[in-house]
Each structure stands twice: as C-alpha cells, then as structure tokens.
Structure 1
C-alpha cells in the first residue's frame, strides 16, 4: 500500500505586512508555491492594511478554490514589537493604529484563529540562516533599514528576544546627526556638529524616510531610496554626502549591537540595506574597523533580498504544518489490511 499526502492537506499561507503593500505566498507541504500575490495599501494605516489583507484572502480563495479554514498554518510578519507566544503587537509607529489587541482580533477574523504573528525581522532571520555558511548560521545579526529600523539577534542558534521582546530594537537608540567637514585632501569626513547638535533616534535619522528627508534638506531630493543610492554610485556629490552620513549613522547602531552581542556576521536588509548594496556595506565595514579596538564582524548585504520576511514566514508555516500533520497521523494511525 502506498501512502501519500492529499494535495489539499498541509497548505500554508505566509503574509508580509509592510507600510505600503501586503505580500502573501501559499505553499504546499512539500514547498511547492501555489500562489504569490502583492496587494498595495492605500495608506500606512491599520484600516487600509486590513482591507488589503482581506483582498489577498479573496485572491487566495479564487485561485485555489480553498477557504481559510483549509489552511494548515498561517504565519504573518508584522512591524513593531510582537509578544512571543501571544502575538500581541506594540510599538509600530509607521503603521497608524496597528498596535493593540483590536488589530490582532481583526487579523484572526481574516486569517483564522490558528494565525501565528511574528516580528518581521525575526522571520527574515530565519530565511537568512538558510543561506549563511554553517559556521555562522548560529551567531549573526540581521539589521533591517526601511521605514523602520530594527534587528534580529541570533546567538548559539537561538533567536534572542529579551524578557520584554524588545531585543534588537536599536531604532530607539539616540544619535547625534553628523555634519560634513573637509579633510586635507578635500574628501568629505563625518564629524559630530559642535554647535546645537541635532539629537534624533536612529530610526528618525537613518530610516528610508529620514534618509530621503536628509537628501532633500541638502539639495538632493529623490523620490525613493533606490534612485538616491544610484545617484551616489554615479558620482553625484550631494547624494554621496547623504549616503556617507547614512553609513555613519548605521555604524553607530551596529557598534552598539557588536558590543552587546558580538555576532560573527551582520546582514543588511530592508529597502536602504538592499539599495545601498556592497557600497554601503563596505563603507560600514571600514568605519567599524576604524572605531573598534578589535576586528569587526563581516558586514554583508542580504542574499535573500526583499523576499526575506515572506520566505521566513513560509519556513515557519511549513514547520507548523509538518507538526500538525504528523500529530494527525499519530492520532489516526491504524494498521492497514493488505
């Protein structure tokens, strides 16, 4: 007798919640992707986000012929601080109204009571761990720089949350926004301003929003991070100055992580990390080498890219599905008559 898994068994959904779009993926238990869909949100608010998720669910129904109740597991990556085990969401200022129990209840109404909610960068770390070399898979940091700034910390193979689930929330670190001076050979060097320094959180200063605001204030307005980074690579002096400042700010945050947890690798992701690419990673690496009294960890750009959260959610969802299916097989086990 040949045993197999029915096509409708073990189907899982992964959801990536961003400020301007919702991305979903539906997989079978064996990893085959059934559906990949992106739905824009009208504004970065809880209401608009929930509406977009509802539209995604409708696309799922129409594409697969299945209901949410047919899903074996659903995992959602959320901005903000997510309470381990309960899925409560807090400190999500870039998505208006997203914090609080009402949002979680609404999500469970849309995606089922079995929904697992996890911090987005924690799921990204799951995906990054799959592509890192075996020697560093257990000790690394993922730093995401997008509308928000935050990190996932993995030490000795375990994700470190802290007792309030806020480990890695370096976006709240207070920094002094640097000025730009001229050294002897005429190249720009970063310095902290001596008069009336501007003190901001790292997220305010180095997020994609802060980066674009800094570019505009310095006479180099750009509509998105990608075009700003491209201009810097192509030699635009104002764009180059802004990107150097961004690297200096991120170095401050990464120094705090290194001194606290001493990772082997720091992985950059999010729109700023990905658009900055090897140029930004190299700049940070060089600044760390100058500022730390010991060799810094390697700074590298994500090899997974913008799918990191969705891919990490899929990994977790398939884990939950396998556990559920094995449990059902054990409960229903019978000795077949041949």
Structure 2
C-alpha cells in the first residue's frame, strides 16, 4: 500500500480543492514533484484517483488535472430528525450521490429503530444495485451518544433509551453513531470552517438545541460525551423552583412545537410545525402577529449564543439546521442583541457544507473513524 502520510496529504488536497495538477499538488502539500508522481501513480492504480481533464491553456502545453474517484470509497449517511429519517450515499469527493427520505411508523418505542434499520438496509441495497461497495454508514442523532453505547435524549414517541447496537441492529456494514451537532462541527472542521479556524461552535436546532464545540482543532466531548448541550441552559427567574420538565429549558421554548404553539396563541395557524427561522421570516414579510414570537425566539437564541461565546471565546459561530434557512434575518437579529452585551461578538455564519451539513458531516466522521484502504488526513 502507498506511504500513508503522503497518500493522505494528496487525497485530502484533492477532496478539499477538487481537480488539481501535479504542480498544484506539490505546492499545496509541500511534497516534491517526484513524490507526487510516485504517490499519484499508486492512487491511480488502486482506483482512488483518476485524470480529470486539463487546465485551460495559457499558451503552453496544458497541465493534466487529477481528482478523486467519487465511487472509490462510498459512505452512507443517516440523519435522525424529529419526525423522520434522511439517508444519503456520499461519494469519496464529499458530494451526495443519492438521497432518501423516510417517515417514522406510527408512534411507538420501536418505530424509530425499525425505520433506522430499513434506511441502513436501503443504502446497502442501493450500493449493491449500483455495483459500488459501501464502506461505512454514519448515523447522526439529536441525543447524547455516550461511550458506554447508550443513546439518550431522542424523541420518546419513537425511540427507547437503548444501546447503539440495539438501535442500529445487525448489518454487514460498519455503523458509526454521532450526535448531530457534533457531526456538523466535525464536518466543518474537516471540510469547512476548520480550514481557517481552530476555535468555533456549531449550532443545530431540531427537537433540541445542541452545539458542537471545536477547541484547538479538536472536538470537545466532555466527561460524559454531553458537552455543548446548550439547550439545557436555565434562563428564567423561576428556573430553579419550577418542577423539572425532563427537557432543556431553553430548547423547550424555541423548538418547532413551542414556536408553533406560540404562533397559534397570536392567531397564526400553520399547516406544519414552524421553525425559529420561519417565524422570523414571517415577521420580516410583514406579518405583525409574528413579531412577539420572533422577538422571543431571537432573544432566547441570543442568550444561548452569549453563554457559549462568553465561556469558549470562539472565532466563529456556525448556524446549522433549523437556524440557517433565513440566516439573512437570524444573523443580524443575533448580532443586534449581542453587541455591547458581551465582550466580543465573533463571526456568525451558516455552515460551509450547506443545507446537508449534518448529513455530510456524519458521513465524513464515519469515513475517518473506520480504517479503510486509503488514509484520510487532516485538511489542507
């Protein structure tokens, strides 16, 4: 097999930047031209890299470009959402080949696991039909995946408190389970914000509000794998005297169920659960009934962000799923509330990986967690 460190450097450069010439690979990785030639030859022989056209000619002989072969190492990605599951096949180049949606069965403690088993089997079957091997499957969950194998915090309407083995079931392919906010943070670390920042937090709002924390270029998990559960912040004056609700106080005020209920109270009837971003957009569009709800949502989000920023001092706050749909409204609303009230307001931006950032992040996490036939190194 090819020298691991050199192959990893070239593969990561191609996965990060796309098609590159030998000269560009040498400049990016610091490897000599002879080493680039030798390692590229091995990667091509093993089917991981192929020629990808030529550079535009500037008068001389155009340079040949090389890129990774998308189907050389395919990962499955599964995102467990509040009311259903999204699955995808993700190519070696980090792009989605095909995606699938699946709702849960009727409510019941085994509805979620059954749907998850079917989705993993569906990904494997699709790879078989396409005649490409499925290397690994990453599953993101909106709960805490602890080191002893237990997952907690999932929607009790569909999920029991169970071990990863019980949730995932028996499959021929290796399965890696990760918290959704951590998956977002890891995806950004390897293929997004991590290219220029080693200190950032990534927020996801679905059934709960969670954050993935990256400090000094490493994911912070905490002693019990529960770091970043910002949705559990106590925020009201009576927080310590009211009976516990079994959920995080902050997240219980801004999740889709809470937002939809608050909207209903001011006369807004929605055909589907409203997200925080959607209620802010309604106010911006001129629906004044939405104003108090939108203000409350942004106030609560700002408190969560203020806590994270004041304690962690990140360069960047990344807004992921549930917050990124109308970032043009959410980001200014947060900045307005934070400026002058905390010492430093970092850059607030959406995920570099776009709307599928959690899916792509958990695929990337799984790909790097399971040893494969080609080494994947840190970002270039």
TM-score normalized by structure 1? 0.77
**Distance 1:45-1:169 versus aligned 2 partners, 3 A rule:** farther
Query: Deviations along 1:28-79, whole A, 9 cap, x unmatched?
Result: 4455644321212235655222232333244335433269xx6322211111
The residue number in structure 2 matching 1:304 is 353
Contact preservation (8 Å) 2:82, 2:206:
no
**Distance 1:56-1:91 versus aligned 2 partners, 3 A rule:** closer
The residue number in structure 2 matching 1:50 is 113
Q: 1:247: Cα distance to partner?
A: 0.6
Q: What residue ranges of structure 1 are gaps of 5+ in the alignment?
A: 178-191, 328-338
Contact preservation (8 Å) 1:16, 1:76:
yes
Whole-angstrom CA distance in 1 between matches of 2:106 and 2:113: 11
Taking the TM superposition and a 5 Å limit, the aligned residue runs for 1:155-304 are 155-176=215-236, 201-222=249-270, 223=272, 224-225=274-275, 227-271=278-322, 273-292=323-342, 294-304=343-353
The residue number in structure 2 matching 1:92 is 154
The residue number in structure 2 matching 1:104 is 165
Which segment drifts farther, 262-271 or 50-59? 50-59
**Alignment partner of 1:220: what SS?**
coil
Q: 1:312: Cα distance to partner?
A: 0.5
Taking the TM superposition and a 5 Å limit, the aligned residue runs for 1:71-82 are 71-82=134-145
Whole-angstrom CA distance in 1 between matches of 2:338 and 2:107: 34
Whole-angstrom CA distance in 1 between matches of 2:78 and 2:216: 28
**Alignment partner of 2:46: what SS?**
coil
Query: Deviations along 1:95-153, whole A, 9 cap, x unmatched?
Result: 5434222x6324131x44732111111111122332227432x1111111222111111
Contact preservation (8 Å) 1:140, 1:264:
yes
The aligned length equals: 300
Whole-angstrom CA distance in 1 between matches of 2:266 and 2:339: 28
Contact preservation (8 Å) 1:174, 1:202:
yes
Taking the TM superposition and a 5 Å limit, the aligned residue runs for 1:118-157 are 118-129=178-189, 130-132=191-193, 134-136=195-197, 138-157=198-217
Q: 1:206: Cα distance to partner?
A: 1.5
Whole-angstrom CA distance in 1 between matches of 2:297 and 2:232: 16
Instruction: Identify the match of residue 362 of structure 2 among 313, 319, 336.
Output: 313
Contact preservation (8 Å) 1:144, 1:150:
yes
Instruction: Identify the match of residue 81 of structure 2 among 18, 35, 51.
Output: 18
Whole-angstrom CA distance in 1 between matches of 2:296 and 2:114: 38
Whole-angstrom CA distance in 2 between matches of 1:309 and 1:270: 8
Q: What residue ranges of structure 2 are gaps of 5+ in the alignment?
A: 1-41, 49-68, 376-380
